[in-house]
Amino acid sequence: MKNKLFFKPTDAWVGDLIPYYEDGVYYGFYLHDPRCRKDEYAEETTWHLISTKDFVNLEYHGEAIARGDDSKPNKNAYTGSVIRDREGKYHAFYTGFNADIKIDGKSVQTVMQAVGDDLFHLKTVEEFIFTADDDIYESFDWRDPYVFYDEDAGCYKMLLAARKKGAGELRGGCIALCTSQDLYHWKREKPFYNPQRYVTMECPEIFQMGDWYYLGFSTFSDRFCTHYRKSRSLNGPWIIPEDDVYDSRANYAIKTAGDGTQRYAFGWIASKKGDTDNGPWEWGGTMDFHRIRQDAETGDLFVEPTEAEAAYCSRKAELTGETVFAGNVTTEKEKAVLKTDQSELAALLYDLPKTSGAFAVRAELEYSSEQEFGIALHTDEGMEQGYFLRIRPSQHLMAWDMWPRKEQGMYQWQIDGDIPYQIETSRYIPKAEKYELLLIKEGDICVVYLNGKTALSTRLYDHKGGKAGIYITQDEIKIRKLEFLTAE
């Protein structure tokens, strides 16, 4: 299927992904959320499956793991992992949840298992139910099992989003550890990772690239995003990198899969309630992929587009309707130079191409100032409305802003001037003098990649059409390349 770049099933939304790789194919199990009740999410959730070889052309395979009826612990089938045992059988471990099944008055989560001879026919093993012990771990947070085989230890290991028994409500989240010899009988061990920092640490995973091990997990307390830690050993200590996240708040519960050479991130870009920019973020959304790149020396991970995604918009559109806002443009050695004049703000804008599908903006820029520059998108000639990708080198910051930020109140000053940008979209960026930007937008989804290192995903609903281009707030910027491209 190549109808759209970003996948969302008909009449449902994509929740947490469970990636798996085998024989040249990447499989993306995901939580299929029908949003069957108003203002409720992840109810009557089942596992569905897509497969792909290039992360653009996807094949949808339908339901992969069914949920139980309203009396069963798997009334909802939530996140987990897939592993193939040494006899070739596939085991999917997942979270079962039924709010009506309680211990000490609290609804509990259970680990359940589905088994099959292939990835397309996984059946729940009804007698397998694995719960927290209510001794090392609290019984009501016990989810997102990630199972792998530890060659050195000679056993299977399971990581879970859990809470240390008796710990505080706001910093008791940990990653639990369980061990097994046969995938059916499990022993609870002391926590694998216990930073005493988060409410919970969802969707844990562990993987190796070269000489480095990586521990991934998602949080919604200290910051709403997916983090990673790095170590030279599977047993730690785990180091926090300078930039420890893959993407923004909009792309949650990212997990990864690789073929031994390349590794890719599987996540979902959240929708906003009411399909409007000022709506609150919702659970579930649209599938998204990134390619993960490693600095082998430092062990740091960077995020860039997949090869097929980068090439998806390949038809160059003519730049028309040139508009210079409050500055001047000159040509210097085949580069356009945008300078501020008497104003603190200047922009070079062009009409966005008319297309019903995806479009992209590619830019190569040279900017040595400590001030701000960025991309204006869906704006008018007077820069009175639209979106602004704000890049502030001195602050190592990239974030989206929207103008106006909200409808003005009774007084002129009631325009959210105390919110400098969309804080949840902020990304740390390494300081540079040359910046290569790829912005891809399809419908209300927008993903930006900067210098092959940083990804920023979001939703942009309200403003459409208009113009796009480069802006600065002081000094000058050299525009080596500015292209608009479409997928048609």
Mean pLDDT, residues 71-94 taken together? 96
CA 44 to chain centroid:
23
Span of 6-20, 90-104, 226-240, 349-363 with lowest mean pLDDT: 90-104
| Residue 233 confidence (pLDDT) above 90 | yes
CA 24 to chain centroid:
23
DSSP letter, residue 274 = G
Mean pLDDT, residues 147-155 taken together? 96
Residues contacting 310, CB < 8 A, separation 6+: 304, 438, 449
What is residue 2's predicted lDDT score, i.e. its pLDDT?
A: 45
Query: Model confidence over 4-19: pLDDT tens digits?
Result: 899 999 999 999 999 9
Mean pLDDT, residues 235-242 taken together? 96
Span of 59-68, 104-113, 128-137 with lowest mean pLDDT: 104-113
Tell me which residue of 228, 224, 246, 248 sits closest to 238, measured CA to CA: 228
| Residue 240 confidence (pLDDT) above 70 | yes
SS3 111: strand
What is residue 308's predicted lDDT score, i.e. its pLDDT?
A: 96
CA 31 to chain centroid:
15
Query: Model confidence over 311-359: pLDDT tens digits?
Result: 999 999 999 999 999 999 999 888 999 999 888 999 999 999 999 899 9
Query: Model confidence over 399-443: pLDDT tens digits?
Result: 999 999 988 889 999 988 899 999 999 999 998 989 999 999 999
- Helix/strand number for the chain, H first, E second: 1, 34
| Residue 166 confidence (pLDDT) above 80 | yes
| Residue 360 confidence (pLDDT) above 80 | yes
What is residue 407's predicted lDDT score, i.e. its pLDDT?
A: 87
Q: Which amino acid is at 12?
A: A
Residue 161 tokens read as 């989003």
CA angle 290, 13, 360 (to 5 degrees): 40
CA 366 → CA 105, 326, 358, 369, distances in Å?
60, 20, 27, 9
| Residue 69 confidence (pLDDT) above 70 | yes
* Cβ neighbours of 68 (radius 10 Å): 16
What is residue 3's predicted lDDT score, i.e. its pLDDT?
A: 66
What is residue 106's predicted lDDT score, i.e. its pLDDT?
A: 74
d(CA 440, CA 310): 9
Confidence bin at 1 (pLDDT 50/70/90):
very low
Three state DSSP letters for 45-82 = CEEEEEEECCCCCEEEEEEEECCCCCCCCCCEEEEEEE
> Quick one: what percent of the chain has pLDDT higher than 90?
88
| Residue 198 confidence (pLDDT) above 90 | yes
pTM here is 0.95
Mean pLDDT, residues 371-377 taken together? 96
